[in-house]
């Protein structure tokens, strides 16, 4: 049974700051910001000691029967749809990668959106389970639970369609009241699906990507403002920032992952040290997505290359160029396993894996980049040995995809106001 999120006022917030439930789901009317500062080419490090003008949204999986307060947050028991096949997860990721490389077509194989983080979002009087996605920007509903127009819903009569590589939808644009916890936008543009493929068990997407990703998705309109755009333009939040905290699954339980979104600020309880910021990349290889320059990638002391990557909450694994992947396998003693598609090792690797972003080395230990053996059965892995979350991203287009398995170890910040992306070690 899905539980409607309860609200809790954060005592340290300047404005009203609240929490809302999110789910871990086992898995694009643009409003310009005339006062948005020009991004600096320098890298900055910031440590926020309190949430300021921020709306905090938390999500977790628990077996508790009642809400439990943790400092100023509230968590609830919720459910998660977990992938039971690592090959299905890889197929979904690779379809998204093909889309980023503009290689996806309308005839591409549809893969269910497994292993995604889900938010309960209210549209009008209905509550929908929507994928939280920084790799797209449209908000839409109706893939499973059908939209029922209430007193606040208005059809614009315009057609809307988006392809995600791993799925797609077509339908009609409406405006309606959209609520995420205490954050409410009236007359928010949403898509109401008449058809959707690849979204079994979820109702749609709430997109947190850059507004340019909505270009040409609604007929007769250039771009449409995102939910976060509208929160900012209406003064609900004072800065257009999304903070993301994901937590890795542990043990054999595939229902214990949790996380939190912060709208309009960052939550210092979710990370240690300072946040390192780097400018949002303008490289053609990452296009309008949340891209960042990666000045170095290494396995231990072995250099694997450099380039630009997309930071994407909708992609599960970590993808690096084929040339870097080959060097990674050679240096770590691995090979690609034909049955799973993962990098496999007979002996456990000992070297760390790292990206250098904004002058900061962001490392993963073997325990962080290897699939936990206790979870093999969850993913349908029956072989012995060790398997990695690092995978082959191909030899053209996007250099890197920094997905959930990296973000579960680093707090991430998507700062539209200052056109930058930040990372800090997860608490």
Q: Render pLDDT for 380-407 as a digit per residue (tens, 0 to 9).
A: 898 789 999 999 999 877 889 999 999 9
Per-residue model confidence (pLDDT) at position 217: 98
What is the reported pLDDT for 114? 54
CB 252 within 8 A of CB 79: no
- Read off the pLDDT of each residue in 404-427 and give the average, rounded to a whole number: 97
Inform me whether the pLDDT recorded for 107 exceeds 80: no
- CA torsion sign for 350, 355, 358, 362 is negative
Residue 85 has pLDDT above 80, yes or no: no
Residue 312: active-site member: yes
Q: How confident is the model at residue 413 (pLDDT cuts 50, 70, 90)?
A: very high
Please give the radius of gyration of the chain, using alpha carbons only, rounded to the nearest integer. 20
Alpha helices (H) in 318-370, listed in sequence order: 322-332, 366-369
**Tokens (6 digits) for 66:** 């009642």
Q: What distance in Å separates the CA atoms of residue 304 and residue 331, rounded to the nearest whole number? A: 10
Helices (H), 34-106: 86-100
Cα 102 to Cα 252: distance, rounded to the nearest angstrom: 37
Give CA–CA dist 18/53, Å, rounded: 10
pLDDT band at residue 52 under the 50/70/90 scheme: very low
User: Which strand (E) or helix (H) includes residue 305?
Assistant: strand 302-311
Catalytic-role residue among 129, 312, 392, 415: 312
User: What is the pLDDT at residue 379?
Assistant: 84
Q: Could you give the CA distance from residue 370 to residue 374 in angstroms, rounded to a whole number? A: 11
Residues 6+ apart with CB under 8 A from 259: 22, 24, 58, 59, 60, 117, 244, 245, 246, 247
- Poorest-pLDDT segment among 10-19, 115-124, 272-281, 357-366: 10-19
pLDDT band for position 58 (cuts 50, 70, 90): low
The C-alpha atoms of residue 104 and residue 28 are separated, in whole angstroms, by 15
More confident residue, 40 or 390: 390
Domains of the chain, earliest start first: 270-426 (2.40.70.10)
Report the mean per-residue pLDDT for the chain. Answer: 80
The pLDDT value given to residue 20: 40
Of 326, 350, 334, 321, the residue nearest 387 (C-alpha)? 334
pLDDT digits (tens, 9 = 90+) for 316-373: 899 999 999 999 999 999 999 999 999 999 999 999 999 999 999 999 999 999 999 9
Residue holding tokens 């012995």? 384
Among 107-121, 126-140, 369-383, the range with the most confident prediction by mean pLDDT is 126-140
SS3 at position 231: helix
How many Å from the N-terminal Cα to the C-terminal Cα in the chain? Answer: 30
Between residues 263 and 172, the one the model is more confident about: 172
The catalytically annotated residue of 133, 176, 229, 392 is: 133
Q: What is the pLDDT of residue 200?
A: 87
């Amino acid at each position: 049974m899905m539980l409607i999120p309860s609200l809790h006022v954060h005592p340290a917030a300047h404005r009203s700051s609240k929490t809302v439930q999110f789910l871990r789901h086992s898995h694009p009317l643009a409003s310009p910001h005339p006062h948005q500062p020009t991004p600096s080419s320098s890298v900055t490090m910031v440590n926020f000691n309190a949430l300021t003008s921020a709306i905090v949204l938390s999500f977790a999986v628990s077996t508790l029967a009642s809400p439990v307060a943790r400092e100023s947050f509230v968590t609830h028991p919720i459910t998660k749809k977990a992938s039971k096949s690592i090959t299905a997860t890889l197929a979904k990721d690779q379809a998204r990668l093909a889309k980023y490389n503009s290689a996806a077509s309308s005839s591409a194989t549809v893969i269910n959106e497994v292993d995604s983080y889900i938010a309960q979002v209210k549209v009008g009087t209905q509550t929908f389970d929507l994928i939280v996605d920084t790799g797209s920007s449209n908000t839409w509903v109706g893939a499973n639970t059908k939209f029922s127009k209430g007193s606040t819903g208005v059809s614009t009569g315009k057609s809307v369609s988006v392809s995600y590589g791993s799925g797609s939808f077509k339908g009609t644009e409406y405006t309606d009241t959209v609520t995420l916890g205490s954050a409410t936008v009236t007359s928010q543009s949403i898509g109401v699906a008449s058809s959707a493929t690849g979204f079994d068990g979820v109702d749609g997407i709430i997109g947190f990507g850059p507004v340019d990703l909505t270009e040409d998705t609604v007929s007769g309109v250039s771009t449409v403002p995102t939910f976060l755009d509208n929160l900012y333009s209406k003064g609900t939040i004072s800065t257009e920032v999304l903070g993301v905290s994901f937590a890795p699954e542990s043990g054999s339980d595939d229902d214990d992952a949790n996380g939190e979104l912060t709208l309009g600020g960052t939550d210092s309880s979710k990370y240690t040290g300072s946040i390192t910021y780097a400018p949002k990349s303008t490289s053609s290889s990452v296009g309008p997505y949340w891209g960042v320059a990666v000045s170095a990638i290494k396995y231990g002391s072995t250099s694997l290359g450099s380039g630009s990557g997309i930071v994407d909450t909708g992609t599960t694994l970590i993808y690096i160029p084929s040339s870097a992947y080959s060097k990674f396998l050679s240096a770590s003693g691995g090979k690609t396993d034909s049955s799973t598609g993962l990098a496999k090792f007979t002996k456990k690797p000992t070297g760390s894996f790292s990206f250098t972003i904004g002058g900061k080395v962001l490392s993963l230990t073997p325990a962080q980049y290897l699939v936990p053996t206790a979870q093999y059965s969850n993913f349908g892995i029956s072989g012995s040995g060790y398997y990695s979350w690092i995978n082959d991203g191909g030899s053209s287009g996007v250099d890197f995809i920094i997905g959930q398995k990296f973000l579960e170890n680093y707090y991430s910040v998507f700062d539209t106001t200052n056109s930058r992306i930040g990372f800090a070690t997860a608490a």
